């Protein structure tokens, strides 16, 4: 069964647009606006990360043996399975993305926000790669 990928496409595109806009504008913004723009990018990162792992989970359930598809008890194991099946190249960066995502949901700290913003920049090509691989293998 083919996955409906439109929501993932929109989420990854929104992250890209927010990163592009923020990189153009950050130097000219005052501190309050910089914080606001950074918060928007972080929100788009959170949504894109959540969509990515959920689509990986859906793809695995539809395309992998039931023994293996039922096995992932954690997201880390899900990312390992995705790597074994060629959806992602390496699970390790995805572990870091998950750690950054968890930071944003528990507390707000400016240093953490800056760090997660940087992670969002790193995450975008991985999300785009996953989307491309899902599109190629979506049958």
| Domain assignment present for 1 | no
Q: What is the mean pLDDT of residues 111-124?
A: 93
Q: Is the dihedral of CA 107, 112, 114, 118 positive or negative?
A: negative
Domain extent, residue 121, equals 6-136
124, part of any domain: yes
Task: Give the number of domains in the chain.
Answer: 1
The verdict on residue 110 lying in a domain is: yes
Give the pLDDT score at 80.
Answer: 94
CATH classification of the domain holding 10: 1.20.120.330
Q: Which residues are catalytic?
A: 101, 106
Task: Tell me which of 68 and 96 has the higher pLDDT.
Answer: 96
Any domain includes 46: yes
Whether residue 84 lies inside any domain: the answer is: yes
pLDDT score of 106: 64
Calculate mean pLDDT across residues 46-61.
95
Say if 123 falls within a structural domain.
Answer: yes
Give domain status of residue 120, yes or no.
yes
Give 54-99 as a 3 state SS string.
HHHHHHHHHHCCHHHHCCCCCHHHHHHHHHHCCCCCCHHHHHHHHH
pLDDT digits (tens, 9 = 90+) for 63-91: 888 877 676 678 999 999 999 999 999 99
Residue 111, pLDDT > 90, answer no
């Amino acid at each position: 069964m083919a996955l409906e990928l439109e929501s993932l496409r929109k989420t990854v595109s929104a992250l890209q647009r927010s990163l592009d806009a923020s990189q153009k504008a950050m130097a000219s913004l005052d501190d309050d606006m910089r914080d606001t723009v950074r918060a928007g990018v972080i929100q788009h990162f959170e949504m894109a990360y959540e969509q990515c792992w959920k689509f990986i989970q859906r793809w695995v359930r539809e395309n992998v043996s039931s023994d293996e598809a039922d096995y992932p008890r954690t997201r880390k194991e899900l990312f390992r399975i995705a790597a074994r099946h060629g959806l992602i190249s390496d699970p390790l960066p995805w572990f870091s993305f998950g750690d950054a995502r968890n930071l944003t949901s528990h507390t707000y700290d400016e240093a953490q926000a800056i760090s997660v913003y940087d992670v969002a920049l790193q995450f975008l090509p991985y999300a785009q790669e996953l989307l491309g691989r899902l599109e190629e293998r979506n049958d």
